[in-house]
Structure 1
Amino acid sequence: MARNFIEYARYVLDTIAEGADVATFAAARLRPPPPDQAKALTEEFLRLEISSAEYVAPTARFYEITFNQQKFLGLVNIPIGEDALTELESVGIYSVDASEALLLASAKEMNLQKSTALTLDELEEVILSQQDDAEFYKGHDIFEILEHFEKITYYNVAANSAFHGRELSEVAYRIATYSQTLVNPKLRSFIDQYRALLSYPGAFMKRNIFWSLTSTHNKHAFLELYRCIESVYTLPRALALKRKAGLTIAGHQVAKMCVEELNWRRKEEDSLKQIFLLIPASEYQRLPLSSFDHDKSEGWAFTVADDFKKKCDQFSDPYI
């Protein structure tokens, strides 16, 4: 369905005026763009594509935006500081200034809501009375209005960036690690390790890694990381099946098919033993486990992990 400029403009104006009693605001309108930009902005407004939302917190979300075969990222309620922008630029992620067309399309399709920072009296004085000056009124500036909505920022990824070609969710998670409102303060000392995991090009459960970083409960932070390695327990038997059946597909794909088609269930402690046995003994020289007996190490590791989970379960305060 083609976008309708009047409908989208009305959404912005009605949302900013919600709860206020300003009779003259019915005559309000958005200021039209300069004539030399109108054609290009109209084309952009009609042709750009905005995905559905993916949430990283109850109100924090991101969207994929496509225009002229270029992809951008729109983040709502994920503000970051200037220092963070500089760091992101060093890895090829750049903040983008939005056009009137992009802002107007975003406001409605991202369901942007009015900020509560201004009181209705302040809003009436700053925004909702402009149309009363009939001599000078040319329409409301959409940039000024949207300063009083939920915070939205836009980013793109440079062609030479390590993040180029990746899922935009990975880019969003990396950006969001700089948010002071999302990251658990008690996990900030591990932020470099989290960013390294989120930046790694491998295909693994980065959403769970990010959820771990933003969890307010220690137990939940641990469990989200634990979910990232659960599938490892299926690998020893999947690799054995691959060898005996003469399969050529990757071991993790064999494991996935066995779980989905045969309803395999992992046996954690025994599988840990099998994993240790798959690792050449020479590799243990660099690990504290080098002094452990192969036949006992899997029980030790499983006991430590299980004990940690049980201790986490004892916490009753969700902010501990």
Structure 2
Amino acid sequence: MGINRSKSSKSIFAKLAAYVDSANSFYKYNLDKCYIDFQKEDKETLDTIREINVQKFIPNAKFAIVSYRNRDMLIVVGEQTSEHDGSVLLNVNVDLAIFVYAICNLQGNVNYAIPPMRIYNEILCQPEDENYHGHQLEDLQEVFENVSAYEIVEESSLIKNDVYDVYAYHFLKLEREKIGRWDKKTLDLFEDIIFSGNDKIPYHNIVMSMLANQWNHSFLETYRCIERLFSVIRLEAFYDVLGTELTLLAVAKEIEEKISWRPNEETAIQEIFKNIVTTAIENVKNSYKQVKGMGVAKWYYKEIRNPIAHYRAVHSPLDLKEKEWNILLQFNLSVIEYLYRKYRGKI
């Protein structure tokens, strides 16, 4: 791919100018005089960056896997830097090539904590100084949001071309440093999935569950991973006698498209509950007297899944404790690990 130096330089200063103009400034500046001081090494390294995988599902999240200097790296924009020991990811110093790629290709924003007039004075007006020889990396890093880079260690268990799996580990490291809503067991189960090496798991759903601001959204994203395999669960016996080269998911897709057959979700959940330890979520269910006589699989589907997935007049927002939400998520994550391991060779 490589990066065009002239275009990237103009793009970066245009972002800064737009921010300054947003303050209704009447001060004059000449963007044509602003440029980045690319040294010989910078010019060479800019041509070596190759995009491997850029995230596209999550609004406002900016991260990608690139190949740079013969190393695969995760580049993240606008987030705190996570610290690593080099066993899975290795922190990399952000050089000018990485910074320019991140701001231009991943749509990095100006650091809005800095007043527009400061950017005007310290960046846009600098070309008027007779000693001006272009802007350095350090000048620009301060006025844009944070850029982090991590080498993906070859020996790690991450799926190295899956940007969501790699990013999930970066985000998990940040979460472990906080006192937040997740308890240790929930984080450990997320980590088990991240390190499973199972390329059939939809890791974008795992990431969206981790990033979600509401418990019900975290639950729903993990539930979708389970829901994806409902047809697989119901069709496995039929698939085993077909002798087709298609995957089980491909067969399920053809059946749904051709004859509009879809599995009954409640029945599929009943099948899952036969093979998974449900003691913890049964304890959650039994703490609510109004559903004490209801089977745990039916409760999970009717009283948990339905109010989250739908919002009809019959449904009320769930009012669960933080500990109970963690237990439900732990159950979902255990089911994901079990199902995707069981059906990995068929889907």
The TM-score, its normalising length taken from structure 1, stands at: 0.74
**Given the alignment, which residue of 225, 239, 242 partners 1:242?**
239
2:266 touches 2:298 (CA, 8 Å); kept in 1? yes
1:186 aligned residue (181, 185, 191): 181
| Aligned: 1:206 with 2:203 | yes
Matches within 5 A, 1:93-172: 93-134=89-130, 136-163=131-158, 165-172=160-167
The more displaced of 251-260 and 219-228 is 251-260
Q: Which range moves more in the overlay, 145-154 or 191-200? A: 191-200
- Alignment counterpart, residue 33 of structure 2, candidates 27, 30, 33: 27
User: Larger radius of gyration, structure 1 or 2?
Assistant: 1
Is the CA contact (8 Å cut-off) linking 1:44 and 1:102 kept in structure 2?
A: no
Contact 1:94 1:158 survives alignment (8 Å): yes
RMSD: 3.6
> 2:83 is matched by which residue type in structure 1?
L
Q: CA deviation at 1:126?
A: 3.1
- Of 224, 227, 235, the residue aligned with 1:227 is 224
Q: Distance in 1 between matches of 2:2 and 2:233?
A: 53
SS at match of 2:36: coil
SS, match of residue 117 in structure 1: coil
Instruction: Give the partner amino acid of 1:269.
Output: E
TM-score normalised to the size of structure 2? 0.69
1:92 deviates by 1.7
**Unaligned ranges ≥5, structure 2:** 281-293, 309-314, 323-347
**Aligned counterpart, 2:42:** 41
Aligned-partner Cα distance in 2 for 1:131–1:244: 74
Task: Give the letter aligned to residue 194 of structure 1.
Answer: F
Cα distance in 1 for residues equivalent to 2:42 and 2:122? 27
State the match for 1:295 in structure 2.
none
Find the aligned partners of 1:184 and 1:310 in 2 and give their Cα distance. 30
Tell me the percent identity.
19
Deviation at 1:248, TM superposition (A): 7.3
Q: 1:64–1:287: structure 2 CA closer, same or farther, 3 Å change rule?
A: closer
CA contact (8 A) 1:93 1:156 kept: yes
The one-letter code of the counterpart of 2:192 is: A
Per-residue Cα deviation, 1:151-170 (whole angstroms, up to 9, x for no partner): 22112211111126452321
How many correspondences in the alignment? 291
